[in-house]
């Protein structure tokens, strides 16, 4: 009996649910929602029927074309340049030191002044030397008088000997006196020249034209020749016009550089910043290659009347070896580096092709191609990260470079 009762209750519940569902559907139809309810029911019953394509859901389409920026390469004349980092060096850097023990009486130049060759810089105490000079000049006058008297005596004894009124011994003694007086006069004149030379040491003059540095000793300071300390250097003069720029070049460039110098002057540009550069010519190549770095030191002589280059300054150097009349080049970002070396993507009929290339040099943001490309081919310059060999591409215009500074929009 209990089982029959449960069966009757289950049947009644099923009938009630069906009645409620029929009632709900009937009400929906009378209110105008029948079509939407039916569509919803179909969507719930068959979800695969309403699935959207993959591209519409915002996912990448593996079979679609990759957007890239391309450029057509061609042959054009390009300068053959070698870039390096150089150091500015003074052609002559001379330390001004005293050559005698004395005292500085006067300083005739200011620190940092531009001096010319021969300008008086320092004046030392010369009173003792001038006194010695006066003494020697008096000795010279005495020796000259003695020489005149000795020559008169010699002439007199020569005359007496010719008249048989004098002796041979007297004539020879007179000749000896002449020779002694001449030697004494020469010695006194040599002593005078020595003092005059020492007097020049009391006037320290600029040996070259250039810019003087700090002056370590002022008027009244005592200077000594034997002092090897830094303080013994009164000042340093750097010759800066013209000036040297020293830089290192790879040893593989050495034959081309020497060949270019054999034809004539080789141009060198020292780039100070984006707006300033100074030009000169090659002046010197070191006679050996540094085995540790495989480079050769070279120097360029550059006119520096404006003093734009300063000793010790670092500058960028551009060495022009000549001109390549038919160079093939691409922008540097177009070249990619792979396990087997550099390569580029070449576009043919809308398909990307990996092309290995040989880079001769990179200058001015462009890579000069030695082999692997020909003029007229189309190369990808942007968008290579999504490319593979054989991928389809679509060409898009290059994005213009954004300005470095932009005005802020007005606020409402």
Q: Which residue has the tokens 């020749």?
A: 225
pLDDT of residue 401: 55
pLDDT in tens, 253-276: 999 999 999 999 999 999 998 889
Residues of the chain within CATH 2.40.50.100 domain(s) are: 95-237
Question: What is the arithmetic mean of pLDDT over 200-225?
Answer: 92
In CATH, 95-237 is 2.40.10.10: no
Distances (CA, A) of 316 to 52, 260, 359, 409: 59, 21, 22, 39
CATH superfamily of this structure's domain 79-88+240-395: Efflux pump adaptor protein, beta barrel domain (2.40.30.170)
The pTM for the full model equals: 0.64
Pairing type for strands 393-395 and 66-72 reads parallel
What tens digit of pLDDT does each residue of 140-157 get? Answer: 999 999 999 999 999 998
Per-residue pLDDT at 361: 82
400 pLDDT band (50/70/90 cuts)? low
Whether residue 58 has pLDDT greater than 70: no
Q: What is the average pLDDT across 229-239?
A: 82
Indicate if the pLDDT at residue 1 is higher than 50: no
- Going by C-alpha positions, the residue among 5, 217, 40, 32 that lies closest to residue 123 is 217
Instruction: Give the model's confidence band at 228: pLDDT under 50 very low, under 70 low, under 90 confident, else very high.
Output: low
Name which of 277, 210, 212 is nearest 240 in CA terms. Answer: 210
pLDDT of residue 41: 40
Start-end ranges of CATH 2.40.30.170 in the chain? Answer: 79-88+240-395
Q: Residue 13's pLDDT is what?
A: 42
Phi, psi of 258 (to 5 degrees): -65, -35
Cα distances (angstroms) measured from residue 150 to each of 139, 163, 171: 16, 20, 11
Q: Please give the structure tokens belonging to residue 409.
A: 């929009």
Q: What is the pLDDT of residues 156-188, one digit of tens each?
A: 988 888 888 888 898 899 999 999 999 999 999
Distance of CA 11 to the CA centre of its chain: 98
Using a pLDDT cut of 70, give the percent of the chain over it: 80
Q: How far apart are CA 346 and CA 375, in angstroms?
A: 12
The closest of 204, 214, 194, 192 to 99, measured between CA atoms, is: 204
Residues 6 or more apart from 266 whose CB is under 8 A from it? Answer: 257, 260, 281, 282, 319, 320, 321
Q: CA-to-CA distance for 53 and 51, rounded, in angstroms?
A: 7
Measured from the Cβ of residue 381, the count of other Cβ atoms closer than 10 Å reads: 19
At 2, list the tokens. Answer: 């209990």
Region for 51 from its dihedrals, namely left if φ exceeds 0, alpha if ψ lies in -120 to 50, beta otherwise:
beta
Cis peptide before 242 (omega within 30 of 0): yes
Residues 389 and 336: their CA atoms lie apart, in Å, by 13
Tokens 């110098």, residue? 261
DSSP letters spanning 165-207: SS-HHHHHHHHHHHHHHHHHHHHHHHHHHHHHHHHHHTEEE-S
> Nearest CA to 372 among 337, 328, 324?
328
């Amino acid at each position: 009996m209990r089982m029959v009762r449960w069966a009757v209750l289950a049947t009644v519940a099923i009938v009630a649910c069906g009645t409620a569902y029929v009632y709900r559907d009937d009400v929906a139809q009378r209110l105008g929602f029948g079509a939407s309810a039916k569509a919803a029911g179909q969507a719930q019953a068959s979800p695969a029927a309403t699935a959207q394509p993959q591209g519409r859901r915002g996912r990448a389409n593996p079979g679609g074309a990759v957007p890239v920026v391309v450029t057509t390469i061609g042959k054009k004349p390009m300068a053959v340049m070698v870039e390096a980092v150089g150091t500015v060096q003074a052609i002559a850097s001379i330390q001004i030191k005293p050559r005698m023990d004395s005292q500085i009486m006067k300083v005739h130049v200011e620190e940092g002044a531009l001096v010319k060759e021969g300008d008086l810089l320092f004046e030392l105490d010369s009173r003792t030397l001038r006194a010695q000079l006066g003494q020697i000049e008096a000795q010279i006058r005495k020796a000259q008088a003695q020489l005149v008297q000795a020559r008169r005596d010699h002439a007199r004894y020569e005359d007496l000997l010719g008249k048989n009124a004098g002796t041979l011994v007297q004539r020879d003694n007179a000749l000896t006196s002449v020779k002694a007086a001449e030697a004494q006069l020469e010695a006194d004149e040599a002593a005078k020249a020595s003092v005059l030379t020492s007097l020049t040491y009391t006037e320290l003059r600029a040996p070259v034209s250039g810019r003087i540095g700090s002056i370590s000793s002022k008027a009244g300071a005592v200077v000594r020749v034997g002092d090897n300390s830094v303080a013994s250097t009164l000042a340093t003069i750097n010759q800066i016009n013209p000036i040297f720029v020293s830089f290192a070049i790879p040893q593989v460039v050495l034959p081309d550089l020497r060949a270019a110098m054999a034809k004539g002057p080789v141009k060198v540009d020292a780039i100070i910043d984006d707006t300033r550069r100074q030009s000169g010519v090659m002046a010197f190549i070191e006679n050996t290659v540094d085995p540790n770095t495989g480079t050769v030191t070279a120097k360029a002589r550059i006119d520096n009347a404006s003093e734009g280059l300063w000793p010790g300054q670092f500058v960028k150097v551009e060495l022009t070896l000549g001109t390549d009349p038919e160079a093939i080049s691409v922008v540097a970002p177009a070249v990619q580096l792979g396990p087997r070396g550099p390569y580029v993507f070449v576009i043919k009929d809308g398909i990307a092709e990996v092309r290995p290339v040989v880079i001769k040099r990179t200058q001015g943001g462009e890579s000069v191609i030695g082999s692997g490309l020909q003029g007229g081919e189309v190369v990808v310059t942007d968008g290579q990260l999504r490319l593979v060999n054989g991928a389809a591409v679509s060409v898009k215009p290059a994005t213009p470079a954004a300005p470095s500074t932009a005005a802020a929009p007005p606020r409402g």
